[in-house]
Homo-oligomer: A and B are copies of this chain.
Amino acid sequence: MTIDDSGWGQCPIPSYDYPSILLAHGGGGRLMHDLIEKIFVAAFHNPELESHHDGALIDPGKGRLVFTTDSYVVDPLFFPGGNIGTLAVYGTVNDLAMCGARPKYLSAGFILEEGLPMETLWRVAQSMRQAADAASVRIVTGDTKVVDKGRGHGIFINTAGVGVADHDLYISPTSIKPGDTIILNGDVGRHGIAIMACREGLSFETEIESDCAPLAASVSQLIDGGIEVHCLRDLTRGGLATSLVEIAQSAGWELAIDEKAVLVREPVKAACEILGFDPFYVANEGRYVAFVPQPHADRAMELLQKQDSTLLPRVIGRVIEKDRGRVVLKTLLGSERLLTMLSGEQLPRIC
């Protein structure tokens, strides 16, 4: 298990009577109340949470509401670049962002395995708080369950999110149009390879860190910058290829993708070769594609480059006026091949 160095150590674990999770911490009595107070309320504290009610009163402001959920079962819990807690916050924030919404509130449901070290839980909760701060969301309501040893796997987390879309765009695969430019916000394949390397105990010359990051600010800058965004999709399980195939099928148009425009960093490329993976199918946690009208493409690229100079966004393709719902890849050799959806599991328990 790798240790994330995201600053959790600055906040020492509160004095705690039990060094690890007991079944009674999920039993609804004194121990559960204690756990909630000393770990979760202490880490997440905000006015909504402190009302100690069964639910939180939230004020999302004006706009259309968006609601989403994701569960997180990543193995191992800690990996280079993040842990299950950062993932649980950014993953759900990113789902909201992909609907064009500004994330506002998260719920957090924990399924803990009996025997989990209390310190592990505290580190994860601290990371969630830091991630929530970075993504400008508040964790306002939660739940804790404990399952018998051997009936869970350390920590599973579910987060649900509520966000607000305060614009008139309808961001969806069905909104894309022939001629649209397809932009990818950075290099692909890092999250999946970081997890796999960790899981298999592989080490590479350069450590590969997960790209795990919140995407809502990036999307907001595009929308606020006047870009008429047609479709957004984050490239998680199934990777770039599966996301593009899903979009092509929903939209009914053909997508033409240029393989050489898709950035895969050298260490990731090398790891993929060793492990036998295709980086187009490897999971990411901070990458997305944006479909924008061609006349908006230059401005969108400028906005993306300004956000983070290390990211290297690229135009990777365009939408073709052929109603065939498929993805055609122009390969490095200049030939063409059809991309298909991932059919089995390349990397299970990646998020």
Contacts and interface: CB of A to CB of B under 8 A. Distances in A.
Contact of A69 (B142, B239, B283): B142
Given A65-B60, A237-B27, A147 B73 contact: yes
Interface string A6-36: 0000000000000000111011111111000
Contact of A343 (B29, B234, B238, B344): B29
Contacts of A250: 52
A55 B51 contact: no
Contacts of A150: 150
Contacts of A163: 55
A57 interface: yes
Contacts of A236: 28
User: Taking the full assembly, how many copies of this chain does it contain?
Assistant: 2
A31 B145 contact: no
Given A67-B58, A69-B108, A172-B51, A28 B242 contact: yes
Interface stretch (A98-106, A181-189, A265-273, A298-306): A98-106
Q: Which of A75, A173, A237, A239 has the most CB of B within 10 A?
A: A237
Interface stretch (A124-132, A154-162, A318-326): A154-162
Interface string A105-117: 1011111000000
Interface in A42-98: 51-60, 64-73, 75, 95-96, 98
A207 interface: no
A38 interface: no
B158 A29 contact: no
A132 to B, nearest CB: 15
Contacts of A238: 27-29, 32
A156 B52 CA distance: 24
A344 B54 CA distance: 21
A208 interface: no
A224 interface: no
Contacts of A64: 57, 59
A339 B161 CA distance: 37
Contacts of A244: none
Interface of A: 22-24, 26-33, 51-60, 64-73, 75, 95-96, 98-99, 101, 105, 107-111, 140-143, 145-148, 150-153, 156, 158, 160-163, 165, 172-173, 233-234, 236-239, 242, 246, 250, 283, 341-349, 351
Q: Which of A59, A71, A95 has the most CB of B within 10 A?
A: A71
Contacts of A146: 348-349
A184 B48 CA distance: 27
Nearest to A234: B54
Given A26-B349, A55-B98, 7 more contacts: A31-B343, A32-B237, A53-B99, A56-B68, A67-B105, A75-B151, A160-B160
Contacts of A72: 145
